[in-house]
Structure formats: C-alpha cells, structure tokens
Structure 1
Amino acid sequence: MGNITIEVVNDGNIEPCRELCNELMAFQQSRAVMAPEVFDKMNFDTRMRKSYDHALHTHVVIVRDEGVPVGYAFSTIEEVEQGDDKLPAWAPNQDPAVSKGFYPEWVRFPQKIGFLSNLYLRDGYRSMGLGKKLFAMSMEWLESFDDVDLLFIYVSNGNEDALDFYLKQGFTYSHEVFGGFIKAVYKKRDK
C-alpha cells in the first residue's frame, strides 16, 4: 500500500467504480444465504449506473491507492412516491403476505429519502479505518440536505458484518425486505 487518497467525484465520471461495484455484487453473492442467483444480473450498469442516473442528487467517494481505485461509497437522495415500493422482477419472494418491500408501513409519502447505496473496500483495505471514513463522508453529505429527515441502508442477506457496522453507527434495524433477501436499517434525523 502506497499513497492512499480519498476523493469526491465532482465531474459525474463514476466509471472508476465499475470494477469495484462488480466486485461488490460478487462479494454479496458469495455471502448470500438466500437466493444468491439473484446477483447474477446485478452489476455496475444495472445497479449503480441506473441508480446514479435516476437519483435526484448523488454523491460518490472513491478511495485510491497509488491512483488505483480500491474502494468507494455511493449515496443518493431520492423523491419517493407512493407505489415506489412495488416488488421488482428480481425480488426472490413475490408473495406480498410474506415479502415486505423497501419501506416499512410508517414511512409517509411523498418525501425525500437519503440512501447509502454502496460502501465497498477491497480485501486488505478493510481494517484501516477507510470504511469509517467513507461512511462519515457519506453521512455528512446526506445530512446536509435540510429537507431529508430519513436515511436508509439496505444490506444484502448474509452480510452480517456490514449490518453490525451500520447498527454500531447509530442506525436502527427496520425490517426484512423481500422475505429476508435484504435487511433494512434506518435513521431518523433529529432537527
């Protein structure tokens, strides 16, 4: 490990995250105890690029070692409407009696909601405090929006380390999404 730098993407070029995002999807698939095959169709283009292009506001932070991307965090602010909670085609459990969607019943629509969508570091960079730094930078950005009172993070099944990390950072467990394929944590902002 050489010269570690952390930069905020200001020019809209998120392409340096492509390989990292694809690694994250493969990592999540390797950890999944429920429906790992669902990750076969998840990649940079179907997840990060699509979300980046459709979000109201976006924030991407990249960690580089000697200029090579080794980690990133991706956050969004989105205007969520009633009905945005519908089950996507890739959801492994389509039974509405069992499968809650992205939001719990107490969320009122419409509203702007902040999301920490991805946080990933390659092996060898995970115990250097970089994850906490990426998380802190993402939270600072998300909390800079006065009209955003609710933050969500969705954790793939089997990734208990990530879930524990977010709970230790002050987030609260909310519910299982799509019958347990994803676990949702949230934070209400006090103003």
Structure 2
Amino acid sequence: MKQTERKIRLSIRYEVISEGEIGCIKHLCNELMAYQQSKAQIRPELFDSMCFETRMIPSVRSAKANFILAAKDGDELAGYVYSNISPKEVYANEFATFFDMDSVANEDVGCLSQFYLKEGYRNKGIGSVLFQRSMDWLNSFESIRDRFVFVSNGNDAALNFYQGKGFNISHQILDGFITVLRNT
C-alpha cells in the first residue's frame, strides 16, 4: 500500500472535563468561533467579540449543570461538546431572545451549546459519539422537556447533522444569523 493510501488509525477516547479544567479546551472553543465566522454569510462581524472568555465562561457560570466531553486522540484534543441545563430566562438577554419563553413549559431547558471537531476528525463517527453522550446526559434530567441547539448561519453541515439526529428547525433569530433547532 502506498504511503498516501495508508489508512490513518485513530485511537479516540472520550473524557469528561470538569468545570475547573475547562481551560484545556480554550483553543478548541476559539477555533469553533473562527470556524463559525468563516462560514457565516449573515453578519460575520458578530463573531469578532466571541471567544472562550465571552462564550464558554459566562455560559458555564449561568448554567445549573454543565457537561463537557472531549474527544482525545492520544494527547491531542480532537474536539468537544458542551451541553448545559439552564434557566430559560438565560436565553433572553442583550444579544437576543432565542425562543418564545411561553413555548417552554418548565423553568429550565437543555441546550447543546457548543460542538466542535478539528477538520481531520470529521466524518469518522466521533461527532456522533459526542452528540449521543451529550443527549444521554441531557435526557438524564427528567424535568427537561425542551432541548435546543443553535446553529450559526452558513454552517449547513451542522444543520444537516442535527436534523439527521432528530432536531427540527424551530425558527431563526437575528435576521437569520442563528437557526434555532428544537427537540422536545
């Protein structure tokens, strides 16, 4: 077999990251923001101020419960998923109101908030494992009836992925900047 035809073997392991250790995914979170900006066709400049410190840290602090799962290939972080349980009011802020508050029966919602895989690790089943473990965690909360995912415009691969996993488009916010998907 030629060297260029050689299959790359991955030895992926999944590790829960505690809130105190989230700094280890800072670079991946910042890569996610840059990736979303590169795909955005509507108001990409909104991503200029989005980074680990402005997105991940405030979200973790405002949540009632957090789940961060990293995919590791040896010592290299290949990707992560971040989900949380938060009061529904968290999603009505100075940036936007993400959904109709009256449409959510309970006080708390589940959200798959961030999901990122480095390019060389996509389309290998790793994302499906991260997604499923995130959903298992969200589903472990009996009081959570509403689960949301927010997809930035231009990220059609993510939109298709979530729709293939049972999420449905609910609506768009900020003139199409974000598509809100819901699974109840």
TM-score normalized by the length of structure 2: 0.89
Aligned to 2:74: 66
1:104–1:132 Cα change, 3 Å: same
1:6 aligned partner: 14
Q: 1:171 to 1:66 in 2, by over 3 A?
A: same
Q: Specify the alignment match of 1:130 in structure 2.
A: 126
Q: Is the 8 A contact 2:19 2:60 kept in 1?
A: no
Question: What do residues 46-100 of structure 1 show as CA deviations (whole Å, max 9, x unaligned)?
Answer: 001110122110000001111121100000000123x852442xx6xxxxxxxxx
| Aligned structure 1 segments of 4 or more residues deviating by more than 6 angstroms | none
Q: Specify the code of the residue in structure 1 equivalent to 2:144.
A: V
1:40 is aligned to 2:36: no
- Between Structure 1 and Structure 2, the one with more helix by share is 2
Shift of 1:123: 0.7
Q: Provide the identity percentage.
A: 40
Q: What RMSD in Å do the two structures reach over aligned CA positions? A: 1.7
SS at match of 1:118: strand
Q: 1:168 to 1:51 in 2, by over 3 A?
A: same
Task: Determine the C-alpha separation between the residues in 2 that align with 1:21 and 1:66.
Answer: 19
Residues 125-159 of structure 1 deviation map (CA, whole Å, 9 limit, x = unaligned):
00110000000000000000011100000000000
Report the CA distance shift for 1:29/1:11 in structure 2 as closer, same or farther (over 3 A): closer
Q: Which amino acid counterpart does residue 29 of structure 1 have in structure 2?
A: Q
Aligned to 1:96: none
1:85 aligns with 2:81: no
> Structure 2: which 5+ runs fail to align?
1-8
Structure 2 residue 110 is the aligned partner of structure 1 residue 102: no
Identify if the C-alpha distance between structure 1 residues 24 and 104 changes in structure 2 by more than 3 Å, giving closer, same or farther.
same
